[in-house]
Amino acid sequence: MNDIIVAISTALGKGAISIVRLSGDGCIELVNKCFKGKDLSKVESHTINFGYIMDEDKVIDQVLVSVMKAPKTYTREDVVEINCHGGIAATNKILEVMVLNGARLALPGEFTKRAFLNGRIDLVEAEAVMDIVNSKTEKAREQSISQLEGKLTGIIRKFRQELLELLANIEVNIDYPEYEDIEVVTINDIKDKVKSMRESLNQIIKESEIRKVIKDGINVAIVGRPNVGKSSILNRLLGENKAIVTDIAGTTRDIVEGSITLSGIQLNFIDTAGIRSTEDVVEKYGVEKSIEQINRSDLVILVLNNNEKLTDEDISLIEKVENKKYIIVINKKDLDNKLEVDKLNNDNVIYTDTVSFDGIDSLKNKIIELFNLDEIESSNVEIFTNTRQITLAKECLPILDDVEKGIIDEVPVDLVAIDIKRIWSKLGEILGENYSDELIDQLFSQFCLGK
Ligand SMILES: Nc1nc2c(ncn2[C@@H]2O[C@H](COP(=O)(O)OP(=O)(O)OP(=O)(O)O)[C@@H](O)[C@H]2O)c(=O)[nH]1
Ligand SMILES: [Mg+2]
C-alpha cells in the first residue's frame, strides 16, 4: 500500500492557476475532509468538482478538484488534483492543509516513480517525461514525445521477443533432439538473427550519438588571448551586449554565458577570460577556468587577432584544442593584416569584424556544417536519449559479437544460450525491468517536484 503524497505541481509564483496534486490510497477521502462542495467520495471518477478548500471552518480558496480513481491515472493510484487560484500564499496554504490531514510531501519525481513502479510506464518512458519537461527547443520536445509514445520501447521489446524465441528454439533442440518434427533452429538461423540485431542496435547507437545534441545542445567555448575580441564575438552571436567589452586586456575575468537556437538546436556559448600568463590572482583564476572550459566544451571557437603576429601563446592554444572540434576565428579583419595565416594550415578558419558584424553569419554556418545541424531531424527515428540507455545498449554489442563468434567456432549451443540470455537481460535493464533501488532513486531525484 502506498502512502499519500502531495506536491505543488505548477511553478510556484504568481499565476492564473496552481495545481496541488495528491496520489495514494485514501487521497480522495483526505481531500474530501477539507472540501466544501459535493461529497468527493461519491463522485464519478475523472470528474471536476467545484467547491472550497477549508481549514476547519475557514475558507482557504475557491477551487476545482479533479478526482481520478485508480487504475486509469498517471500513477495507477487514486489521484486528486486541486486547481486553485495561482499565488504563493493560497497554494502553500492548501499544501499545508493536506499535510496536516495526513499527506506526506512528495520527493522530486515521486509521482512518475510511482507510475513506473506500478507498471504504467517503463523507465525509457519515465525518462522521456523528464526530457519533455527539460526540452528547450522544438526539436528536443518532438524527440521526447516520440519516446514517450513508446517507439523506442517498442523496438527493444521486439529485440527481446526475438531473443526469447531463439532461446525457446534452442532449448527445445537441447531437450528433445530426437523429435524430428520440431522446427529445428539451425545454427545459421541464430547467426543471421544475431547479426541483424547487432546491426540494428549499432545503427540506433550511432544515430543516438549524432542526435544527442538535440537534447543536450552544444556547448561552445570562446577562447583566445586577451583583447582579441572574444566578448565582442559572443555579443554579436547572441545579438545583445551581454559581456563587457573594453580595450583593456583582461576585461573578462569570470565566464559569461548565453544561448541561441541554431537550426533548431540550442547552442550554449561560454565567453572566457583571455588566456595569458599573469600574476594577477583574480585573472589567473579566470585563466584556469578558461582552460577547464576547453575540456568541457563540444566545440571551441579559438579567436586570434588579425592585426597582430601569431604569438607562442596562440600556437600553444591551437595545440590545446587540436584534439577537439574547433573553429579558428580571425577577428578584427577590418584592421591591417599582420597575422601569418599561411602558418595556420587549417580549413576551419573564419574571418570576422565585430564592428560591422561581418563574418558572424559565416561563423554560424560553419557551426551548422561541423555538426550537420541541418540534417538532424528529430522525428521518425528511434534513438537512445541518455547515457544510461546508450551505455547499456553498447554493452550488448560485444556479447552479440561473442554469440556470433561462438557459432562460428562451434561452441555448444547451450553456452550460446547463456550469452543470449545476458543480452535479453541487458535490454530489459534499459526498460527498467531489473533495476537497483539506488539507480531508481538517483534517476527520479532529477525530476521536478510534483512531477
Ligand atoms: N577594430 C576592431 N576592434 C575590435 C573588433 N572586435 C573587438 N574589438 C575591440 O577590441 C577590444 C577588445 O574586445 P573584447 O571583446 O573585450 O576582447 P576580449 O577578447 O573579450 O578581451 P578580454 O576579455 O580582455 O580577454 C575592444 O576595444 C573592442 O572594441 C573588431 O572586429 N575590429
Ligand atoms: Mg572578454
CATH for 217-375, among 3.30.1600.10, 3.40.50.300, 3.40.50.2030, 3.30.2320.50? 3.40.50.300
Q: Which atom of ligand 1 is nearest to the CA of 227?
A: 21
Q: Which atom of ligand 1 is nearest to the CA of 234?
A: 15
182, pLDDT greater than 80: no
Most distant pair of Cα atoms in the chain: their distance: 89
Nearest Cα residue to atom 17 of ligand 1 = 229
Nearest Cα residue to atom 14 of ligand 1 = 229
Overall pTM > 0.75? no
305 CA → ligand 2 middle, Å: 13
251 CA → ligand 1 middle, Å: 10
Out of 36-50, 179-193, 397-411, the most confident range is: 36-50
Determine whether the shortest distance from the Cβ of 228 to ligand 1 is under 6 A.
Answer: yes
pLDDT interval class at 185 (50, 70, 90): low
The percentage of the chain sitting over the pLDDT mark of 90, rounded to a whole number, equals 60
pLDDT per residue as tens digits for the range 27-73: 999 999 999 999 999 999 999 999 999 999 999 999 999 999 999 99
Coil vs helix vs strand at 18: strand
Q: What is the pLDDT of residue 241?
A: 95
Helices (H), 297-386: 312-321, 360-370
Nearest Cα residue to atom 26 of ligand 1 = 247
Who contacts 7 (Cβ-Cβ below 8 Å, separation ≥6)? 20, 21, 95, 105, 106, 110, 111, 449, 450
- Domain 5-121 fold: Gyrase A; domain 2 (3.30.1360)
* Region 151-213+386-432: CATH code: 1.20.120.430
- Domain boundaries of the chain, sorted by first residue: 5-121, 151-213+386-432, 217-375
244 CA → ligand 1 middle, Å: 10
Determine whether the shortest distance from the Cβ of 231 to ligand 1 is under 6 A.
Answer: yes
According to DSSP, the β-strands at 299-305 and 218-224 are parallel
Determine whether the shortest distance from the Cβ of 244 to ligand 1 is under 6 A.
Answer: no
187, pLDDT greater than 80: no
Helix (H) or strand (E) segment spanning residue 341: none
> Angle formed by the axes of helices 387-408 and 187-216, to 10°?
160
pLDDT per residue as tens digits for the range 280-305: 777 777 778 888 889 999 999 999 99
pLDDT per residue as tens digits for the range 10-26: 988 888 899 999 999 99
Q: What is the pLDDT of residue 378?
A: 57
What is the tally of helices (H) and strands (E) in the chain? 14, 13
| 111 or 343, higher pLDDT | 111
Strand order in the sheet with 35-37: 35-37, 47-55, 58-68, 79-85, 17-23, 5-8, 104-105
Q: Which atom of ligand 1 is nearest to the CA of 225?
A: 25
pLDDT per residue as tens digits for the range 119-132: 999 999 999 998 88
Determine whether the shortest distance from the Cβ of 245 to ligand 1 is under 6 A.
Answer: yes
Out of 201-215, 328-342, 376-390, the most confident range is: 328-342
C-beta of residue 82 within 8 angstroms of C-beta of residue 19: yes
The whole-number average pLDDT for the span 166-186 is 66
The whole-number average pLDDT for the span 381-393 is 88
pLDDT interval class at 146 (50, 70, 90): confident
> Could you list which residues have their CB under 5 Å from ion ligand 2?
230-231, 251-252
- Which of 4-18, 164-178, 358-372 shows the lowest per-residue confidence on average (mean pLDDT)? 164-178
367 CA → ligand 2 middle, Å: 21
